Amino acid sequence: MRKKNKIAILPGDGIGPEVIKETYKIINVLNRYFNLNIQTKEYDIGGIAIDKYGIGLPEETIVGCEKSIAILLGSIGGPKWNYLPLHQQPERSGLLNLRKKFGFFCNLRPAKLYPELRKLSPLRKEIVSNGFNILCIRELTGGIYFGLPKGTKKNGKNKYAFDTEIYYEFEIERIAHVAFQIAQKKKLRITSIDKANVLESSILWRKTIEKVSKKYPNVILSHLYIDNAAMQIIKNPSQFDIILTSNLFGDILSDECAMITGSIGMLPSASFNENKFGIYEPAGGSAPDIQNKNIANPIAQILSLSMLIEYSLKKPKISRCINKSIKNVLKKGYRTLDIANDKEKYITTEEMGNLISEFLIKEYEKNEKNVISKNI
Ligand code: NAD
């Protein structure tokens, strides 16, 4: 009997349900043609969960996720819930609690500029003529966002505030292993980013990365200071394969990398815990400004599914077929509004989902039939 691949689907708010709907079309093709036995069940999170249950992360959602092989998330939040106190708002009470509950310490954000879309990049043509493909690997549960003590105090009349950047060796080691394993498998170079000329935590970061690298002698490792890295990404993004960095630096650099692709609707992400359990979601938010207009780009969501197929279902060849079908749709000139050259000529969210499904079937028929069926 074929193994059941249970996925918890959390559509969430805003454009989340719209782009998730397109992802189901891909899942249907994967089940029918690629012999993946994916079973899905939907659960509420974020604003919609607050409306139904009064909390952003209901117990039913947690249990559903625990019973699944991976989580596919749409997006969370919107102006409707802005009136709530901060800790009750959808992102905090839903998404941050979910991340905390499962201990997702490692965040992967690929920032790929397709040659077909290079006009979207705010960088000059000659800098991005070959496109680029950077995988940002960010530590997600340590560092200054969680370090204690933090607070605001008074010294006489002078008010001051402080945070603590703290990293345990084990926290650096575990994310380094994830990065080196990916680099080894995909034959990629790693650039580790820190501020080891100033910060104690960065000195430990660099030493630990060096130590872990000894176990992966085939992987090329280099180090950059954060200030230089921020410049190099703009000057020559194609020099990077994997950027490995801390929570704070990763927060900033992953957005910089996203920005230079010029298309938030194209960017997926994945986060993992120590058991390699993963959550997959678009890098963008719930885009309330375009909600219910059938103009959202579903590609970030479909690429998030593709990452799930690669990392949680361990079917990299099938994931490559999905990616290739997206590339072929773009090559043929099809664009949603956000990535359209001509703002008069664009296809809808639903049309983009249909086209990617059709191209995925072609991908199956054309190239991969034999290879894929042998590798199921
Ligand atoms: P956003 O990413 O939702 O939107 C920024 C811009 O990008 C908007 O113009 C939007 O239309 C566009 N955009 C985003 N995704 C798109 C897509 N798939 N196709 C086409 N265009 C797309 O960021 P924001 O406006 O700052 O936040 C809106 C809401 O989303 C807020 O409530 C915020 O808290 C929430 N948010 C959620 C997540 C998450 O669920 N992980 C992440 C970021 C923001």
- Please classify residue 199 by burial: count the beta carbons closer than 10 Å to its beta carbon, then call 0-12 exposed, 13-18 middle and 19+ buried: middle
Q: For the chain, which residues make up each domain, given as ranges?
A: 1-107+264-376, 122-261
pLDDT of residue 228: 98
Question: Is 244 strand, coil or helix?
Answer: strand
Distance CA(194)–CA(6), nearest Å, equals 38
Ligand 1: residue whose CA is nearest its atom 23: 285
pLDDT of residue 35: 92
Atom of ligand 1 nearest to the CA of 46: 40
The letter for the amino acid at 54 is G
Stretch 149-166: mean pLDDT: 96
pLDDT of residue 366: 83
Strands, E assignment, 115-258: 132-139, 151-155, 158-162, 190-194, 221-225, 242-245
Ligand 1 centroid to Cα of residue 198, in Å, is 35
Q: Which CATH superfamily is domain 122-261 in?
A: Isopropylmalate Dehydrogenase (3.40.718.10)
Catalytic residue among 225, 255, 327, 362: 255
Collect all residues with Cβ–Cβ distance below 8 Å to 76 and sequence separation of at least 6. Answer: 12, 13, 16, 45, 46, 47, 56, 90, 91, 94, 95, 285, 286
Question: Is 65 strand, coil or helix?
Answer: helix
Do 43 and 8 meet the contact criterion of CB atoms below 8 Å apart?
yes
pLDDT of residue 358: 98
Contacts 24+ apart (CB under 8 A), 177-180: 177/212, 178/106, 178/137, 178/272, 179/137, 179/242, 179/244, 180/212, 180/213, 180/215, 180/216, 180/219
Least trusted range by pLDDT, from 44-48, 94-98, 169-173: 94-98
Is there a catalytic annotation at residue 216? no
pLDDT of residue 129: 87
Atom of ligand 1 nearest to the CA of 299: 18
pLDDT tens figures, 333-369: 999 999 998 777 899 999 999 999 999 999 999 876 5
Highest mean pLDDT among 126-130, 144-148, 274-278: 274-278
Ligand 1 centroid to Cα of residue 78, in Å, is 9
Stretch 3-13: mean pLDDT: 95
Ligand 1 centroid to Cα of residue 74, in Å, is 11
Q: Please give, one letter per residue, the 3-state secondary structure of 324-345.
A: HHHHHHHHCCCCCHHHCCCCCC
Strands, E assignment, the chain: 5-12, 38-42, 70-75, 106-113, 132-139, 151-155, 158-162, 190-194, 221-225, 242-245, 268-272, 278-282
Ligand 1: residue whose CA is nearest its atom 5: 287
Stretch 313-323: mean pLDDT: 95
pLDDT of residue 342: 78
Ligand 1: residue whose CA is nearest its atom 25: 287
In the chain, what is the straight-line distance between the N-terminal and C-terminal CA atoms, in Å?
Answer: 12
Is there a catalytic annotation at residue 163? no
Ligand 1: residue whose CA is nearest its atom 12: 287
Ligand 1 centroid to Cα of residue 289, in Å, is 9
Residue 211 has φ and ψ, to the nearest 5°, of: -60, -45
Res 50 pLDDT > 80: yes
Distance CA(261)–CA(284), nearest Å, equals 13
Ligand 1: residue whose CA is nearest its atom 43: 285
Ligand 1 centroid to Cα of residue 143, in Å, is 25
Res 95 pLDDT > 60: yes
Question: pLDDT-derived band of residue 371, with 50, 70 and 90 as boundaries?
Answer: low
The letter for the amino acid at 17 is P
Percent of the chain at pLDDT above 90? 90
Atom of ligand 1 nearest to the CA of 74: 40
State the average pLDDT for the chain: 94
Res 162 pLDDT > 60: yes
pLDDT of residue 130: 81
Res 375 pLDDT > 60: no
- Please classify residue 374 by burial: count the beta carbons closer than 10 Å to its beta carbon, then call 0-12 exposed, 13-18 middle and 19+ buried: exposed
pLDDT tens figures, 218-263: 999 999 999 999 999 999 999 999 999 999 999 999 999 999 998 8
CB atoms within 10 A of CB 263: 23
Stretch 150-155: mean pLDDT: 95
Domains 1-107+264-376 and 122-261 share a fold: yes
Res 5 pLDDT > 90: yes
Is there a catalytic annotation at residue 21? no
Res 373 pLDDT > 60: no
Is there a catalytic annotation at residue 345? no
Question: Is 5 strand, coil or helix?
Answer: strand
pLDDT of residue 6: 97
Ligand 1: residue whose CA is nearest its atom 26: 285
Ligand 1: residue whose CA is nearest its atom 38: 285
Res 51 pLDDT > 70: yes
Indicate the CATH number for domain 1-107+264-376. Answer: 3.40.718.10
Question: pLDDT-derived band of residue 302, with 50, 70 and 90 as boundaries?
Answer: very high
Is there a catalytic annotation at residue 338? no
Greatest CA span in the chain, whole angstroms? 75
Question: pLDDT-derived band of residue 79, with 50, 70 and 90 as boundaries?
Answer: very high
- Protein residues whose CB sits closer than 6 Å to any atom of ligand 1: 15, 75-78, 91, 95, 264-265, 281, 284-290, 296-297, 300, 338
pLDDT of residue 1: 60
pLDDT of residue 372: 57
Question: pLDDT-derived band of residue 3, with 50, 70 and 90 as boundaries?
Answer: confident
Ligand 1 centroid to Cα of residue 60, in Å, is 26
Dihedral Cα 78, 80, 85, 87, nearest 10 deg:
-40
Q: Across-strand partners of 268? A: 282
Ligand 1 centroid to Cα of residue 336, in Å, is 16
Catalytic residue among 227, 235, 331, 332: 227
Catalytic residue among 21, 24, 80, 145: 145
User: What is the phi-psi region of residue 46: left when phi exceeds 0, alpha when psi lies from -120 to 50, beta otherwise?
Assistant: left
Stretch 92-104: mean pLDDT: 93
Res 374 pLDDT > 60: no
Percent of the chain at pLDDT above 70? 97
Res 264 pLDDT > 70: yes
Question: pLDDT-derived band of residue 153, with 50, 70 and 90 as boundaries?
Answer: very high
